[in-house]
Structure 1
């Protein structure tokens, strides 16, 4: 997508980052991918042997370029998580592929980058209790599916109820929203739950899927959140992690407004919020 090219360019243009702030991911290894995904699904995907039904479910024609792109995204989120452990916060300028479940791809997502990175941190004993906060307009059904029986990786999804995916999975905590919710009600609901969630889970690492398809301009979103509302949402999550000294990895998630500038500005706004709170 064009936004993944424009986000780094805009970050540099605004002086929010310098070239040395970026890192270049590699192709994620099969062993890492299989920490969160079924080996037979991963093998079929990497060998370009998925059946026609699964390819239709994913929504993209299967190609080596597409699979490699997903593997770069996955490694980017793993590396980003390790940088967050070191510096307190780190971003993947893409990612948030939360519809990919344990043994399936869906909704243009082949592999679940944050789920794989969470499993990587847990398996390698880098983090013991992990919270995945998903504020994309669509439920993080794949992430919920992967960790539905996990005792130490907790999933939270706040999403539009009557939107894709139409068959929802069960997260540790789901907050389904009615169509057309606006800033005040959205932010009040989030504030009512986020502190309690941190107290209950007591995470030592947080992943944040910061989709901007909650914007009122989004053609797929069905919500009515302003750019200022998105900024306040991000402030709430980032300030909480900063205050609690909990490392935070952020992936971009969805954004489908007709004008690309609305998408890029909203995503870059998440970076602006980070620079304000983390003072870098």
Structure 2
């Protein structure tokens, strides 16, 4: 059974609708897929409604966090989406995305890039607007060749010329909130250095001591030596190790299931979760 625990839909910055994502996951031969849109659970209902037989959905989100000036992402799985304090914090992060994106567009204009807010908003559609939508606009304008090329210090990377801050969670608070909602936390792509600064191993150790459950090891932004180092760190700290595609549809070249999580690790994640349960597919109305 292949298990992909990190994907995105049009509810945030992917290009597949939630329904398309689960159908594509089944077509890719996955047995389990997690929908982890940025700071939102808005796509879950549509994904569940379209879930085909033979595919299990893990509900989740990818939380925007910051520690000592370094941006990081925290994957949260199988939590109660209605837990009030956690729901309020997710809403604060989401609500700050539009003014932040508008600021980045204005900065790009000051740098001589002919990008317009209407262009970015059209790309985002009903999704939670973010840097990948701006990056897509830069590709369409011919400023950069790919979305990944926009995430550099020259443009949108943390600390980059056109980067702007948004409301982000303290990761220790994120762990506390997810745990209180019965969920499980995994630090996403912790050594993706090409995206900008990353947290130190000592910080990961502090997060582990605060209740972090795992780290994402097998990821497109981690080369083999990095993966080996992270596995050693996980063993030392008693953390689970996951693998995933971080799929964004056509916005990235990565394919669903390109990296996967060991079934035993997945089983441990489900055993630790008390806020929600994986949803087995029974042949949704959009399934072929």
TM-score class, shorter-chain normalisation, is 0.3 to 0.5
- Higher normalized helix content (fraction of residues): 1
- Higher normalized strand content (fraction of residues): 2
Structure-2-length-normalised TM-score: 0.33
* Greater length-normalized contact order (CA 8 Å, ≥ 6 residues apart): 2
